C-alpha cells in the first residue's frame, strides 16, 4: 500500500512538473524550458555521479554556464540556481551529460527530472553534525582557499574558493563573508563569478588608499587568476567596499607560458612607493611591481634551491614582520605547496629581506608554519589594523578534502592567527599565536571537554595528553622535551575510513621548552598551539561522538567552555 501511494505521489509530481519536463535530445543532451515563477531552481545533486555541463540560455543567448553532478538514482542534496537574476520569465537550461555508455532511456529516468523544482526559498539550516561552531564555513557547497582577505572600516572581509553548485571542487567562484571580530561571519552574495576568461581561482584584495588606480580613494581592488585557456591574472575593482566587483575591461593584466601560473598576492610597498605582487609559477614564485595595479613589471623569481619542491608552489604571500622582543623587522615569504613529505598540503615559509625587487634568504632548513595535516593555502589580511599580520588557512588537505564525511558543506577555515618572528639558537622562525579575538570566546571552567571547547594544558616536562570518548576513540598527543618534539596521533580518532591518507601521526619540532598548550576543539578540528606561539598543529578528526575525557600525564589540563 505504502509503495502504491509512493508511486502515485511520484506520478502526480511528474504530472505537476510535466510542463517543465526535460526534452531528451540524445543520450548526452537534455533541455529544460522553464517558466520562471520563483527565485530559485533547486537542482538535485548526487556526489558519485559524473559531471554535466549546464548552460543557462535566454532568448538564444548564453547567460551562465556551470558544471554539476546531476542526480541519476539518489538525491544527496539540492543546490539553488537563482533564475530570477536573468530578468526573463522564460529560460532554457541546456544539459550536456558526460557519461560513458548512457542511453536516452536511462537519461530520461534520471531522478533529477522528478525532483528538480522551483522555490522562493533555499533551506540553509545546518544539517551537519560536524559543522564547526566558531570557525568560518560556507553556508553550503565546497570551499577551499581563503582569498582576497582585507580589513576596512571595522569589517574583515574573507573571500574563498567556492563551488555554489556542489560540495566538491568545481565552478570556482569567490564566495564572500564578513566579520567584525574574525570569528562571527555573515555570509554575503558571491563576489566574483566565472566569465569568458575562465573560472576565478585564488588571489588577493588591496585597499587602494592613495588612489593609485584612479578609481577613487579607498577603492578595493581584487587580483585573481582567470583559469581558462591558460592561467592568467585579472583585475577587478569594487566601489562598494568589496560587496561587488566590476572586472577591468582589458583583462588579463599578467600572462605567461608557464602552465601553473596563479594566486597573485598584491600589497603596497611603502619602501618603493609602488605595489608589489607575488604569484606562484610552477615550483617557484615570481615577483612584480606596479604604480597603478594595472601595468605590472616582472622583477625577479624566487625558489630554486630553497625549500620543498616535490609539488607545485601555490598561494604565496610576502610581508614584513616584527622580530619578537626587538625593534627589528624581517620579511617573510609564505609558500603553500602540495605533495609534501608528511603528506599532501602544507605551508612553508622563508625569512629574509626584500627590497621591492628581489627576495633574499640564507635560510637552509625547510620550515612549516603549522605541522598538522590540515593547514593550507594560508594567506594574510591586507590593511589589518594596528600593524597586525593576521593569517587564516584552509583547514583541509588536497589528499582527502573532497571525501571528508560532511555533505551540505565541505571545509572550514582555521581560527585566525597573528604572526610574528622569533629567534631561537641563532635562527629565525615564524611565531603563530591564536588571534586575541579568540580570548573573548573563552567561557567558564568546566569539568570535561565537549565538542566545542578550549583546553589549556600546563606542562612540566614529558607529557602524554589523551582526548577520548566512551567509544574508545582518541587523540594522543605527546611532548618529548629531549627530542624537542610535539606529536598528535589521530589514527584512532574516529572515522578515518574515507581515505587511506587520513589516519596519521603528525610531529612538530618545538623551539625551546613547551610550558603551556592551548588546544581548540570545534566539532571536527583540533588546533594546538604553544601558548608562547612557537608551535602550531592543526588536524581534522571525525569522532562518532564528542571527546569527553582528557587525561594529561605529566601536565595539568583546564577545560574552558566556548561562549559564542
List residues binding ligand FRU (CB under 6 A).
Answer: 144-145, 161, 172, 201-202, 225, 262-263, 314-315, 377
Q: Which is nearer to ligand FRU, 52 or 161 (CB)?
A: 161
Please tell me the distance from the alpha carbon of residue 538 to that of residue 394, in angstroms, as a whole number. Answer: 10
- Going across the sheet that includes 173-179, the strands are 186-192, 173-179, 155-163, 141-152, 409-410
Extract the C-alpha cell encoding 259.
602552465
What is the four-CA torsion angle of 192, 198, 200, 203, rounded to 10 degrees? -120
The DSSP secondary-structure symbol of 20 reads G
Name the minimum Å distance from CB 176 to ligand FRU.
16
Name the minimum Å distance from CB 126 to ligand FRU.
24
Please tell me the distance from the alpha carbon of residue 52 to that of residue 66, in angstroms, as a whole number. Answer: 8
Pairing label, strands 141-152, 409-410: parallel
Locus of grid cell 578528526: 541
One-character DSSP codes across 95-150: EEE--TT--HHHHHT-THHHH-EEES--------TT--SSS---SSEEEEEEEEEE
Report yes or no: 166 and 45 within 8 Å, Cβ to Cβ. yes
Q: Which is nearer to ligand FRU, 118 or 225 (CB)?
A: 225
- The helix or strand, by DSSP H or E, that contains position 154, with its residue range, turns out to be none
Name the minimum Å distance from CB 289 to ligand FRU.
22
Q: Which is nearer to ligand FRU, 24 or 377 (CB)?
A: 377
Name the minimum Å distance from CB 306 to ligand FRU.
19
Name the minimum Å distance from CB 203 to ligand FRU.
8
Report yes or no: 248 and 214 within 8 Å, Cβ to Cβ. no
Please tell me the distance from the alpha carbon of residue 382 to that of residue 433, in angstroms, as a whole number. Answer: 18
Q: Which is nearer to ligand FRU, 368 or 479 (CB)?
A: 368
**Catalytic residue chosen out of the listed positions 76, 145, 355, 522:** 145
Q: Which is nearer to ligand FRU, 174 or 422 (CB)?
A: 174
Reported in sequence order, the residue ranges of 303-402 that DSSP labels E, i.e. its strands, are 313-322, 329-338, 345-354, 359-360, 367-368, 376-380, 390-394
Name the minimum Å distance from CB 394 to ligand FRU.
7
Q: Which is nearer to ligand FRU, 144 or 408 (CB)?
A: 144
Please tell me the distance from the alpha carbon of residue 412 to that of residue 131, in angstroms, as a whole number. Answer: 8
120 is catalytic: no
Residues annotated as catalytic are: 145
Amino acid at each position: 500500500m505504502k509503495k502504491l501511494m509512493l508511486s502515485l505521489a511520484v506520478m502526480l509530481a511528474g504530472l505537476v512538473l510535466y510542463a517543465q519536463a526535460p526534452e531528451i535530445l540524445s543520450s548526452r543532451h537534455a533541455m529544460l524550458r522553464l517558466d520562471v515563477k520563483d527565485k530559485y531552481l533547486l537542482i538535485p545533486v548526487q556526489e558519485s555521479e559524473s559531471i554535466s555541463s549546464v548552460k543557462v540560455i535566454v532568448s538564444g543567448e548564453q547567460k551562465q554556464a556551470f558544471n554539476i553532478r546531476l542526480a541519476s538514482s539518489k538525491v544527496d542534496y539540492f543546490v539553488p540556481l537563482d533564475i530570477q537574476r536573468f530578468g526573463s520569465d522564460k529560460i532554457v537550461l541546456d544539459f550536456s551529460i558526460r557519461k560513458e555508455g548512457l542511453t536516452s532511456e536511462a537519461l530520461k529516468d534520471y531522478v533529477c527530472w522528478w525532483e528538480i523544482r522551483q522555490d522562493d526559498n533555499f533551506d540553509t539550516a545546518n544539517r551537519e553534525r560536524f559543522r564547526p561552531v566558531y570557525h568560518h564555513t560556507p553556508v553550503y557547497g565546497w570551499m577551499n582557499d581563503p582569498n582576497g582577505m582585507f580589513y576596512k572600516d571595522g569589517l574583515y572581509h574573507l573571500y574563498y574558493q567556492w563551488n555554489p553548485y556542489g560540495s566538491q571542487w568545481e565552478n570556482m567562484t569567490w564566495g564572500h563573508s564578513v566579520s567584525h571580530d574574525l570569528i562571527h561571519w555573515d555570509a554575503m552574495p558571491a563576489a566574483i563569478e566565472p566569465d569568458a576568461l575562465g573560472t576565478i581561482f585564488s588571489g588577493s584584495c588591496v585597499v587602494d588608499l592613495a588612489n593609485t588606480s584612479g578609481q577613487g580613494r579607498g577603492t578595493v581592488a581584487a587580483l585573481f587568476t582567470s583559469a581558462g585557456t591558460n592561467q592568467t591574472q585579472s583585475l577587478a575593482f569594487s566601489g562598494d567596499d568589496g560587496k561587488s566587483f566590476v572586472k577591468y575591461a582589458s583583462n588579463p593584466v599578467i600572462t605567461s607560458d608557464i602552465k601553473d601560473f596563479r594566486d597573485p598576492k598584491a600589497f603596497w610597498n611603502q619602501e618603493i612607493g609602488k605595489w608589489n605582487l607575488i604569484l606562484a609559477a610552477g615550483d617557484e614564485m615570481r615577483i612584480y611591481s606596479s604604480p597603478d595595479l594595472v601595468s605590472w613589471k616582472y622583477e625577479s623569481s624566487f625558489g630554486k634551491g630553497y625549500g620543498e619542491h616535490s609539488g607545485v608552489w601555490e598561494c604565496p604571500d610576502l610581508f614584513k614582520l616584527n622580530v619578537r622582543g626587538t625593534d627589528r623587522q624581517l620579511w617573510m615569504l609564505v609558500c603553500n605547496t602540495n605533495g609534501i613529505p608528511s603528506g599532501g598540503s602544507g605551508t612553508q615559509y622563508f625569512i629574509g629581506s626584500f627590497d621591492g625587487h628581489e627576495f633574499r634568504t640564507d635560510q637552509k632548513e625547510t620550515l612549516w608554519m603549522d605541522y598538522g595535516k590540515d593547514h593550507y593555502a594560508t594567506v594574510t589580511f591586507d590593511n589589518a589594523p594596528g600593524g597586525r599580520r593576521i593569517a587564516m588557512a584552509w583547514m583541509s588537505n588536497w589528499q582527502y578534502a573532497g571525501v571528508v564525511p560532511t555533505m551540505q558543506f565541505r571545509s572550514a577555515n582555521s581560527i585566525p592567527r597573528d604572526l610574528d618572528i622569533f629567534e631561537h639558537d641563532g635562527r629565525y622562525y615564524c611565531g603563530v599565536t591564536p588571534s586575541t579575538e579568540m580570548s573573548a570566546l573563552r567561557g567558564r571552567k568546566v569539568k570535561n571537554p565537549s565538542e566545542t571547547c578550549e583546553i589549556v594544558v600546563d606542562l612540566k616536562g614529558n607529557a602524554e595528553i589523551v582526548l577520548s570518548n566512551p567509544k574508545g576513540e582518541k587523540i594522543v598527543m605527546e611532548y618529548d622535551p629531549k627530542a624537542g618534539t610535539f606529536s598528535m596521533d589521530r589514527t584512532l580518532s574516529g572515522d578515518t575510513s574515507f581515505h587511506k591518507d587520513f589516519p596519521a601521526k603528525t610531529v612538530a619540532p618545538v623551539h625551546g621548552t613547551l610550558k603551556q598548550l592551548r588546544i581548540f576543539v570545534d566539532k571536527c578540528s583540533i588546533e594546538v598551539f604553544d601558548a608562547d606561539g612557537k608551535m602550531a598543529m592543526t588536524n581534522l578528526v571525525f569522532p562518532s561522538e564528542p571527546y569527553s575525557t582528557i587525561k594529561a600525564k605529566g601536565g595539568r589540563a583546564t577545560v574552558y567552555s566556548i561562549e559564542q
